[in-house]
Amino acid sequence: MSSTPTLLFRPWGLAQPGLLEQGDLATAAPGLEFCGTEEPVESLAGSISQVQELIASETAQGNNVVLVNHSFGGCVGSSSVKGFTQKDPSKLSPGSGKVVGIIQLCAFTPPSKTTLYDIINLDTSFHHSGPDGWELIDHGEPTDLFYNDLSPEDAQLWKGQLLKHSTASLKDRESVYAGWADVPVWYLLCTRDQAIPVQIQEMMVAAARDAGADFTTKSLDSSHSPFLSKPNDTIEFILEALVDFKAKSSRS
């Protein structure tokens, strides 16, 4: 079996991606259907299937997989590993690769059958359900929520690339699976995050550890978009996590 990890779900906008594509390391960054579609989707199932198809393709070639998840992508990425790990190999063939780890960049880390709406405080949340199936940002300015440590010009640039997000995907309970309990996880705590405050990030990590999960955390003085404002630090974190995952996988 190859030890090649294939990074899936790489965040959009990660600067200097070539640093992640060295040696036998391959990457992929699928655009998932929970946002950006012509009409809002009705669940997370399609997005999870998109990632699972990529995982299945890589593991069938004998490649190991690490998922790098950001923000709400943590729900999708964690749910997608079901059946592709050593703990639960039900979707793997003999001799195939497997998912060996998850990297969460200030990402939601919910228990199984738990939606984002179950976690957030609706009284203080910056977003709420709109009348047309799309989520509305009705409290706060996106440049402050997501890009508060970028220059005003860069913040406006990235604001212009935001896509509409399906409300149903935030409320789909049945599709959510706590895959973070099946593999080691490295979590990047972003201390200047205004979208998912670091206290909430720490709360999710503490709950996962209490549930018996293997979490390694590091803090970064960054906004909600560390791959934009601190790209080299983010890449260093990812590469360090990969070394740890490879060592743990070889011992198992």
Closest among 60, 225, 210 to 147, alpha carbons compared: 225
Closest among 243, 197, 206, 183 to 71, alpha carbons compared: 197
User: Residue 20: what pLDDT?
Assistant: 58
Count of domains forming the chain: 1
User: Residue 21: what pLDDT?
Assistant: 55
User: Residue 9: what pLDDT?
Assistant: 38
* φ and ψ of 198, to 5 deg: -60, -30
Low-confidence ranges of the chain (pLDDT < 50): 1-17
* Residues 227/105, Cβ–Cβ less than 8 Å: yes
pTM: 0.91
Q: Taking each helix axis as running N to C, give the angle between helix 73-80 and helix 45-60, from 0 to 180 degrees, rounded to the nearest 10.
A: 50
**Range of the structural domain that residue 243 is part of:** 5-251
User: Residue 251: what pLDDT?
Assistant: 79
Beta pairing, strands 215-220 & 26-27: unpaired
* Residues 66/101, Cβ–Cβ less than 8 Å: yes
How far apart, in whole angstroms, are the C-alpha atoms of residue 204 and residue 23? Answer: 34
Q: Tokens 């009284």 map to which residue?
A: 123
- Dihedral sign computed on CA atoms, order 108, 109, 115, 119: negative
Element (DSSP H or E) covering residue 74: helix 73-80
Assign residue 170 the CATH number of its domain. Answer: 3.40.50.1820
Residue 71 pairs with which residues in a beta bridge? none
User: Residue 208: what pLDDT?
Assistant: 97
Closest among 47, 53, 48 to 91, alpha carbons compared: 53
